[in-house]
Amino acid sequence: MNITELKEYKTKLAKLDELEKKKRDVYLSKIAKGEIQGPQTEYSSINKTSLKYFTEDEIMGDIPKETCYEALYNNNINHKDDVCFEYLERKYTYGEFFELIDKTKEALVASGVKDGDVVTVCSITTPEILALFYALNRIGAVPNFVDLRYPANTIKNYINEAKSDYVFTLDLVMPLFNKISNDIDTKEIIYLNAANGSLKPISFISKLKAKHDKLVSNNKKFVNWDNFINRKAEPTDDVSYVPDKPAAIVHTGGTTGVPKGVVLSNDDFNSIIYQVKTARTKQRRGWKFLNIMPPFIAYGLGLGLYAPLVLGWNTVIIPKFEANDFSKLLKKHKPNGVMGVPAYWLNVMNDKKNKKLNLSFLDDVLVGGDKTPSAIENRINQYLKDHNSNAILSKGYSMTEASSLATFSNRIANKPESVGIPLVKTTIAAFEPGTQNELPVGEVGELCIQSTNMMVEYFENEEETEKVKQLHEDGYWIHSGDIGYVDKDGIVFVNDRIKRMIIRSGFKVFPSEIEKRINKIHFINSSAVVGIPDAVDVTVPKLYVTLKEGTYVTKEQALETINRFFDEVDLPPYFRPTEIEIIDQLPLTLIGKVDYDKLKDLSVGKTLTKTK
């Protein structure tokens, strides 16, 4: 089948109705399982080999057509006494949470918030912010989640872009809002104290509270949460479900260009629920889940907060997470499930205090963000086993534009260096970069995602939307900007981001190919490769490494071993880094990914160890 024939075939597939598409998927799954004989092509989007890992019922199932609040209510109204979440020593039942949502909705209506309004939320996760999300959903208003750690000017621009009449934030950042309050066209800035929903005071908040009280009393736009929540209004009906109606705006990390507001719908969130239930985790009602992710990233909002609350898990909310606290949180809360990035587990393993850490309570360990090299995956899995857990790393891959859910792995659907398989309502294929031409199975190209949880659009940015969410012959696909491939078993491999690829004198260098090999050296804890300017080759790779704690090698010995390694490694000579630097730890972004831009900045003006 050539490209022209492939596109003609995809045009025919696009004309199938939803039931016909699902029946075809069941047929494909039976071919992949070897239950029946049937034709195969060289294209992964046509074969959908990964469907062999799912049951017929899972493939044929329907994603509920309901609002986010209806999903929460319908799944939990008969479990009002179950613990919904824990927040700073206090446990909230579903009954209590529904009451808080009711009060928040009433206060919003009394304040004049209406269907279609965009309300900016600039906060960490608190009980009030959780209730606000669902209350806004009942009205039909859309929360615009903004990272409160952004500079004042960035926050101002996001608020003005959304034309928000109302902003919800923390009293801790009121000095910032005091600076920009005259530059944002809002009616009210409603601030809350993060300790409101706890059973004990938070010391660093208490110390700052008096200072903030004096500040906010002088600005008429500022309203305390306690005053807001007591506003009264006549009862109003909730909005009805409408397909593709926006439910939230979250902002990208800029990996596909300039940071943009991603509009996610009720359908996107409910697709997350359906696909999480089919992902072979050990999740169940009452399952204790440690949520360390903030609400202003899609990963944290959809998988950290929405899915656990709707599915009836007991979610432990950590409002202010520090990577160095990860092991303490595991010991204290003993969760059944946790998600994060591999770097958190490296911190746990390198801490001598954790030699006798008992992890028998852990059922599932979910990791996303950066690609996990096999050497690190094996180390973490061995650590879990040695510390009495039956869990293995469940790797995932996605992007904000796909609601941060596209693939998963488990004991059956996994291979070294992979990110697992597409979820049951998701298709992933590699395309020739810059085109809509799908590449054959196993060929490396730009990974593109077609799923039931693709973003609606970039907020008020049609030009950028059309670049990333492209209409192909068989419907819309998200163009990820990631380089990778899908193998014959439907398992997905991510090589690098297109923007991380280094062009050295015309040759393509993929940093992850260097990193996954160097991580196998016994004393290497982690590594990262970035491109740096060069007078001859234009751009060349530079290698940063960190050493395992307790490693009895000097930096000189480590560098000598690394240089010898590159003499023998199975990589082309142009992959060899021109510089190597040993540092204490790799810098991370606000959401725990390796900060490659900061590593590039570290190189400026330095005299470093040159490789041969």
Query: Mean pLDDT across the stretch 315-335?
Result: 91
User: Which pLDDT score, from 0 to 100, does residue 279 have?
Assistant: 84
Q: Identify the burial level of 115 via C-beta atoms within 10 angstroms of its C-beta, where 0-12 means exposed, 13-18 middle and 19 or more buried.
A: exposed
Residue 1 located in a structural domain: no
Residue 60 located in a structural domain: no
- Say yes or no: 475 and 578 in one domain: no
- Say yes or no: 307 and 218 in one domain: no
User: Which pLDDT score, from 0 to 100, does residue 501 have?
Assistant: 79
- Say yes or no: 425 and 327 in one domain: yes
Helix (H) or strand (E) holding 509: strand 507-509
Residue 71 located in a structural domain: no
Residue 559 located in a structural domain: yes
* Highest-confidence segment of 208-222, 404-418, 447-461, 489-503: 447-461
Query: Mean pLDDT across the stretch 434-447?
Result: 94
Whether 228 and 30 have beta carbons less than 8 Å apart is answered as no
- Say yes or no: 557 and 418 in one domain: no
Residue 66 located in a structural domain: no
User: Which pLDDT score, from 0 to 100, does residue 508 have?
Assistant: 75
- Say yes or no: 230 and 252 in one domain: no
Is the confidence at residue 18, as pLDDT, over 90? yes
Residue among 453, 447, 458 nearest 402 (CA) = 453
Query: Mean pLDDT across the stretch 585-599?
Result: 81
Domain that holds residue 100: 91-240
- Say yes or no: 141 and 235 in one domain: yes
Provide the number of structural domains found in the chain.
3
List the CATH number of the domain containing 149: 3.40.50.980
Which residue's entry shows tokens 């009030």? 128
Comparing 133-142, 269-278, 298-307, 430-439, the range with the smallest average pLDDT is 298-307
- Say yes or no: 254 and 228 in one domain: no
pLDDT tier for residue 152 given thresholds of 50, 70 and 90? confident
Residue 196 located in a structural domain: yes
Residue among 543, 542, 551, 548 nearest 527 (CA) = 543
- Say yes or no: 536 and 459 in one domain: no
% the chain with pLDDT above 90:
62
Cα separation, 367 vs 227, in Å, equals 40
- Say yes or no: 423 and 308 in one domain: yes
Work out the angle between the directed axes of helices 374-386 and 342-350 (0-180°, nearest 10): 50
Is the confidence at residue 382, as pLDDT, over 50? yes
List the CATH number of the domain containing 546: 3.30.300.30
User: Which pLDDT score, from 0 to 100, does residue 256 have?
Assistant: 42
Phi, psi for residue 522 in degrees, rounded to 5:
-60, -25
Is the confidence at residue 561, as pLDDT, over 60? yes
Cα separation, 544 vs 564, in Å, equals 16
User: Which pLDDT score, from 0 to 100, does residue 509 have?
Assistant: 85
User: Which pLDDT score, from 0 to 100, does residue 369 have?
Assistant: 65
Is the confidence at residue 610, as pLDDT, over 60? no
pLDDT tier for residue 197 given thresholds of 50, 70 and 90? low
- Say yes or no: 105 and 230 in one domain: yes
Task: Give, rounded to a whole angstrom, the gap between the first and last alpha carbons of the chain.
Answer: 47
- Say yes or no: 259 and 209 in one domain: no
Does the pTM surpass 0.95? The reply is no
Whether 382 and 410 have beta carbons less than 8 Å apart is answered as no
From its phi and psi, is residue 319 left (phi > 0), alpha (psi between -120 and 50) or beta? alpha
% the chain with pLDDT above 70:
93
Query: Mean pLDDT across the stretch 481-508?
Result: 86
pLDDT tier for residue 204 given thresholds of 50, 70 and 90? very low
Cα 466-467-473 angle, rounded to 5 deg:
70
What is the pLDDT of the chain when averaged over all its residues?
89
User: Which pLDDT score, from 0 to 100, does residue 198 have?
Assistant: 60
User: Which pLDDT score, from 0 to 100, does residue 202 have?
Assistant: 52
- Say yes or no: 275 and 335 in one domain: yes
CA 140 to chain centroid: 25
Write down which residue in 187, 217, 240 finishes a domain. 240
